Amino acid sequence: MSQTVKTTAASASDARATAPGRRVAFSLVADADPGTLPRVLEFVAKRGLVPLALHSRLTDDTLAIAMEVGDLPQAETDHIGRCLGQIPMVARVIVAELAATASAAELVAAE
């Protein structure tokens, strides 16, 4: 007689620490390369997260990117910021904790 056992794999978001309500903006200036956005999103996606907001603007050969992510603890925020700075086509990364009324798109517009 065979038995079927149902198991549920834990998702990445179930296992990671969170900081509920905390919103962080990552503002980047990078080369206009087709691989830039996927590489930036990779650091959020592999943690089981979806950005709250994502904005990019192409000007000549420069890409300005603003990405807002929610519930990230400070240590994980710092780690993602360092990783984003190591992407070869990224020239600058600014990490900022957002106030309740601010948005990541406002950071790109201000630059």
pLDDT digits (tens, 9 = 90+) for 12-40: 545 667 888 899 999 999 999 999 999 99
Q: Which two tokens stand for residue 59?
A: 């000007």
The pLDDT-based confidence of 9 (bands split at 50, 70, 90) is very low
* pTM for this predicted structure: 0.76
Does pLDDT of 101 surpass 90?
A: no
What DSSP assignment string belongs to 6-71?
---PPPHHHHS---TT-EEEEEEEEE--TTHHHHHHHHHHTTT---SEEEEEEETTEEEEEEEEES
Domains of the chain: 18-110 (3.30.70.260)
**Is the four-CA dihedral 41, 105, 64, 58 of positive or negative sign?**
positive
State percent of the chain over pLDDT 70.
Answer: 75
CA distance 40 to 85: 10
